[in-house]
Structure 1
């Protein structure tokens, strides 16, 4: 069984989608104490634990990740994958490097192959540099990220301050020489770390075939790290279950958006242009999460009973109010309270945009585990919280086409 530890919940659904796409029966656990029955453990091929460790302290991230690893080992997992964002979201201190090293130490692993490459999402690595749709990372919207601004595309320079071990590389020409050449290069890189330290081997990948070559080379490795791209290639080497992935019937959908990514802003604009009803949550100094959420829910209550609608706090960087301290956390709290209120009103279809927003929603809803279904967009599957009969899409801010909100919500509800 493959056990995956993801550093946020939208990353967890992204990797769960990749596993499902490869035909593996996958369960998504949204905390380390998610109840999994004996039947669950005998009928699944992979378990993904979605944490909220991307932007917390290093010590807290390491502790939570080790707890997830131990839970997965207890559940019977024998191969492990640490899933981080395909834009390598991190600060100079971590948390990608420290968590990788902690997991490796716990497992007794000396070498970890890692790559954020996910060609299906436009993320590629060439000469150790991360590109987003062919553009160096620091020249993309990620340079203005409010929590983890990414100002360099060199993965070696990003990773080095975070780790105690050494760094090796797998150049594209080596990857394309095939799995044997990759295996040999990994062995050479392993000597660079030094005795008792973890060697991090950063792999280039430009196409899906590159990831498949790397996956073949790491067959049997206890721990690998990266985005959903590499674990998807690893999953393709496993026997497929043949299970057909399901999706909920069309119906009234609530969209809660907190991501400020360019793509989410495009999706909001397209939804509004298509006639979708929307409520913009805009905090003023002194506002509370409870008050803002109450206003949003009152607005929802005034909408037609079968109408899908959007509640969002997303805005371009230039429009964010610098007078309000920790405004991102305020908006996350609003999203969680709104989601709980919508659930209490009987809403069973929700699309959540943004990793931190999704984490807040899951926390307030109390969703512990979910069955992974069909993808609403690449990397954004429906998940079914069977305990509450709630169907959710937890979307990374950058995922989905411009009309994604329209396609998911307005196709199943009235405008």
Structure 2
């Protein structure tokens, strides 16, 4: 990477939907930010000479700790080489993980090895998304960008029943503590009222510190605290897009960045393709809404895809035909539970269908729903990078895709996590 570029922040997301969430909040703060599929080469960065923020949309959320380490150590080394003052490992706002899959603790261990910080901050909440951390316990609204009720994480109707990493503990210190041997401290909501200089006074030998986050007004102070933790080297941190919101708000206050308050309205698409590998009840309600509002529906046999490694090209042709007729089409994996099915195979199948449809039709906008499958779908579509072009629902911006594939290059794409949006989400496009 080229150290001559003034990189304020580099983040590595554990999946694609969460990565576009981080992309949105730092772009709203005024940063020129580009999200890449892999850590970018010097040649790729030369295409964006005024870039402030580098993002990488990883796939570690669905991997084992050993697989994560194999990917994260070189990725972190490359992001460190960018000269960025801040490097953030971006996790889902509900901290989806376990000791066996998508281990946040393993990511912390890898970050500690590469960056050698005295203290690794973990930012616990993101108020704009309905995620609140109070005395170390995480609470989450049902449906980001909706008016759903707020639940303690281990009692959340969706997250407590996640098919791969069900939430059984709301205290993030205990949750992450099952995944790393590092001692985890807490800066709680009462300490946030104290001057930033006093925040570390209660810490003794902690290597990781969780920071409560309840209110938008607390973000500037959190950003100030993070900005001052390491004077002479890169600071490594962990959390949801609360990290981007905190740093962005602080950089706005310091006039390092100027926030973007007006966006060009993208309008409605003539034809629309939605592909979904999400098992979330939020997405299920959105699919039902789409079916009741003239979306053509195609259901994939998820079990067959996984067991037979089968991708039905006939479906891709049928989708392309419907799109050429200016239809709105939704392709999903059905109502049957898909626990323990391969996210890689499901996501790749969905992405392959989407790419085939894009190649054979004039569709200009695609929505990809499902955190665990999104990274594989994006790769199957041959997307190399994305840049935010408009906000829609918090945490799921509309983006422009960059690709060496001419039909994919310039495509408008939206990556939606399972918990994002009200019932009529797909009607926004």
Give TM-score scaled by structure 1 length: 0.87
Alpha carbons of 1:285 and 1:158: their partners in 2 closer, same or farther (altered >3 Å)? same
1:59 aligned to 44, 53, 66, which one?
66
2:275 aligned to 246, 249, 256, which one?
256
Gaps of 5+ in 2: 1-7, 142-149, 230-234, 404-408
Instruction: Output aligned runs, 1:118-267, within 5 Å.
Output: 118-133=126-141, 134-140=150-156, 141-182=158-199, 184-185=200-201, 188-189=202-203, 191-193=204-206, 199-221=207-229, 222-238=235-251, 239-241=256-258, 248=266, 250-251=268-269, 252-267=271-286
Once residues 248 and 105 of structure 1 are traced to their aligned partners in structure 2, the CA distance between those partners, rounded to angstroms, is 43
Instruction: Output aligned runs, 1:295-314, within 5 Å.
Output: 295=315, 297-302=317-322, 305-314=325-334
**Residue in 1 that maps onto 2:103:** 95
Alpha carbons of 1:288 and 1:245: their partners in 2 closer, same or farther (altered >3 Å)? farther
- Partner of 1:301, secondary structure, is helix
Once residues 15 and 363 of structure 1 are traced to their aligned partners in structure 2, the CA distance between those partners, rounded to angstroms, is 19
Once residues 81 and 218 of structure 2 are traced to their aligned partners in structure 1, the CA distance between those partners, rounded to angstroms, is 33
Once residues 224 and 217 of structure 1 are traced to their aligned partners in structure 2, the CA distance between those partners, rounded to angstroms, is 12
Deviations 1:307-357 (A, max 9, x none): 121111142xxx3378xx736554323212211211211333100001122
Gaps of 5+ in 1: 194-198, 409-415
Once residues 242 and 117 of structure 1 are traced to their aligned partners in structure 2, the CA distance between those partners, rounded to angstroms, is 21
**Residue in 1 that maps onto 2:420:** 399
- Pairwise CA distance, 1:23: 1.3
- Pairwise CA distance, 1:298: 2.3
- Partner of 1:98, secondary structure, is helix
Contact 1:85 1:116 (C-alpha < 8 Å) held by counterparts: no
- Whether 1:273 and 2:289 are equivalent positions in the alignment is no
Deviations 1:210-234 (A, max 9, x none): 2322222111331221110132111
Once residues 257 and 324 of structure 2 are traced to their aligned partners in structure 1, the CA distance between those partners, rounded to angstroms, is 44
> How many aligned residue pairs are there?
393
Once residues 334 and 123 of structure 2 are traced to their aligned partners in structure 1, the CA distance between those partners, rounded to angstroms, is 29
1:83 aligned to 80, 90, 110, which one?
90
- Pairwise CA distance, 1:62: 2.2
Contact 2:220 2:247 (C-alpha < 8 Å) held by counterparts: yes
Alpha carbons of 1:299 and 1:5: their partners in 2 closer, same or farther (altered >3 Å)? closer
**Residue in 1 that maps onto 2:390:** 374
Alpha carbons of 1:250 and 1:289: their partners in 2 closer, same or farther (altered >3 Å)? farther
**Residue in 2 that maps onto 1:50:** 57
Once residues 397 and 265 of structure 2 are traced to their aligned partners in structure 1, the CA distance between those partners, rounded to angstroms, is 9
Contact 1:16 1:372 (C-alpha < 8 Å) held by counterparts: yes
- Pairwise CA distance, 1:95: 1.5
**Residue in 1 that maps onto 2:117:** 109
Give TM-score scaled by structure 2 length: 0.85
- Partner of 2:221, secondary structure, is helix
